[in-house]
């Protein structure tokens, strides 16, 4: 694993690492202390929607050096807007760069999440609807559905990018907050809009908690209230023609998030493959920046 890691570190150049800090570079003029602790999940959604009027910019990256395939780095930019207190809309732009191959744009996703119940319950359902237009060269690992395996990573980008998949995806997000812990379960169903492919299914489960439940009166960076930790497990569940977890990728991941002043949150997770269809380890890291009351920029001053 150490040699794979070294290979990966060499591949991820300084120029690409700068992408992680892009949100911070883009928006230097805002000075606010950290807000509500971001949940540390990379794949799992909780019932927490974006606050109305806020725009969240997230740069999420995955890097890996799978056996029998070239090392790769895949950044995703997410723009998440709180349209109302019960509706969050989001756009994803994705790309990837593969060692000894090429760097390409792989596609986009449009997504909306709707809170179903008006008040908080012991379990809170949220409906997720997504349209995706991504080519087969996508290596973002935002989720796993169907019988997706790591063997697809061996194929060169030039061939994969020719195959574009347009599909609709639905998720049922269930989430609970118990004594400071967040427990979330996502069930995914995806159907290609074109072609006669069967329904594909997937799941993800996540648990997280802030390091401390009480806040301090001082704004600080390396204090306990700035950190959240947790874990998530995700993978495919096969298709409508063959349901099951055996023929697809499965991952288990510890998670950590750190919120700092300026509305910035950094997240990190090594995701460990649980079977031969999965990569040994996916290194995920990301940064989130929240622009508060973005919609006020377009309102007349009162």
Partner 1 sequence: MKARGLVLTVLIAASVVCFGKADGSWLKKVPQSDRVRVNPYADNAEAVKVGANLFTNNCAKCHGENAEGKGSRPSLQSERVKDATDGELAWLLKNGNIYKGMPGWSGLPEQQRWQIVAYVRSLNSQGKAGHP
Residue ranges binding partner 1 (CB under 8 A): 32-37, 39, 46-49, 51-54, 82, 84-86, 115, 118-120, 124, 177, 179-180, 182, 210, 213-219, 292-293, 296, 299, 302
Rounded distance between C-alpha atoms, residue 196 and residue 261, angstroms = 49
Is the Cβ of residue 50 or residue 148 nearer to partner 1 in the bound state? 50
Q: Compare residues 76 and 259 and give the one whose CB is closer to partner 1.
A: 259
At closest approach, how far in Å is the CB of 196 from partner 1?
35
- Angle (CA) 226-89-208 rounded to 5° is 30
- Identity of the residue, 62 or 126, whose beta carbon is nearer to partner 1 in the bound complex: 126
How is residue 146 annotated by DSSP?
Answer: B
At its nearest, how many Å lie between partner 1 and the CB of residue 113?
13
Q: How far is the CB of 126 from partner 1 (least distance, A)?
A: 12
Q: How far is the CB of 279 from partner 1 (least distance, A)?
A: 31
Contact assessment for residue 74 and residue 96, using Cβ atoms and an 8 Å cutoff: yes
CB 180 to partner 1: min, Å: 5
Closest CB 59 distance from partner 1, rounded Å? 22
CB-nearer residue toward partner 1: 70 or 177: 177
Distance of closest approach, residue 229 Cβ to partner 1, in angstroms: 14
What is the rounded CA–CA span in Å between residue 239 and residue 202?
9
Query: Which lies closer to partner 1 via its Cβ, residue 65 or residue 186?
Result: 186
How far apart CA 223 and CA 245 sit, in angstroms, is 40
Say if strands 181-192 and 103-115 run parallel, antiparallel, or are unpaired: unpaired
Q: 61 or 225: whose CB is closer to partner 1?
A: 225
- Beta-carbon contacts of 186 under 8 Å, excluding residues fewer than 6 positions away, are 43, 44, 45, 128, 171, 172, 173, 174, 203, 204, 205
Say how far apart CA 90 and CA 111 lie, in whole Å: 5
**DSSP characters for 84-107?**
ETTEEEEEEEEEEEETTS-EEEEE
180 vs 244, which CB is nearer to partner 1? 180
173 burial level (CB within 10 Å; 0-12, 13-18, 19+)? buried
Cβ at position 120, least distance to partner 1 in Å: 4
Q: CA distances (Å), 18 to each of 30, 75, 95, 145, 245, in order? A: 20, 11, 15, 30, 36
Q: What 3-state DSSP class applies to 251?
A: strand
Whichever of 25 and 215 has its CB closer to partner 1, that residue is 215
């Amino acid at each position: 694993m150490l040699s794979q890691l070294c290979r990966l570190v060499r591949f991820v150049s300084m120029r690409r690492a700068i992408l992680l800090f892009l949100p911070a570079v883009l928006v230097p003029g805002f000075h606010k202390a950290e807000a509500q602790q971001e949940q540390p999940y990379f794949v799992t959604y909780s019932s927490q929607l974006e606050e109305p009027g806020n725009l969240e910019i997230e740069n999420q990256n995955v890097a890996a050096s799978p056996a029998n395939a070239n090392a790769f780095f895949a950044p995703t930019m997410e723009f998440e807007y709180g349209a109302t207190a019960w509706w969050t809309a989001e756009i994803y732009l994705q790309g990837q760069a593969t060692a000894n191959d090429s760097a390409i744009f792989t596609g986009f996703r449009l997504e909306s999440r709707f809170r179903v119940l008006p008040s908080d319950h012991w379990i809170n359902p949220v409906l997720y609807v997504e349209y995706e237009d991504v080519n087969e060269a996508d290596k973002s690992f935002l989720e796993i559905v169907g019988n997706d395996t790591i063997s697809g990573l061996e194929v060169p980008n030039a061939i994969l990018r020719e195959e574009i998949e347009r599909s609709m995806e639905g998720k049922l997000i269930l989430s609970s907050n118990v004594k400071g812990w967040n427990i979330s379960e996502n069930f995914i169903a995806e159907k290609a809009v074109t072609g006669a492919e069967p329904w594909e299914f997937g799941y993800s489960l996540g648990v997280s908690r802030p390091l401390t439940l009480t806040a301090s009166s001082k704004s600080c960076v390396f204090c306990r209230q700035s950190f959240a930790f947790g874990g998530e497990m995700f993978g495919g569940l096969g298709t409508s023609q063959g349901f099951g977890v055996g023929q697809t990728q499965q991952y288990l991941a510890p998670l950590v998030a750190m919120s700092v002043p300026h509305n910035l949150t950094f997240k990190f997770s090594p995701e460990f493959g649980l079977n031969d269809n999965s990569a040994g380890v996916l290194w995920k890291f990301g940064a989130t920046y929240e622009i508060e009351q973005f919609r006020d920029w377009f309102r007349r001053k009162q």
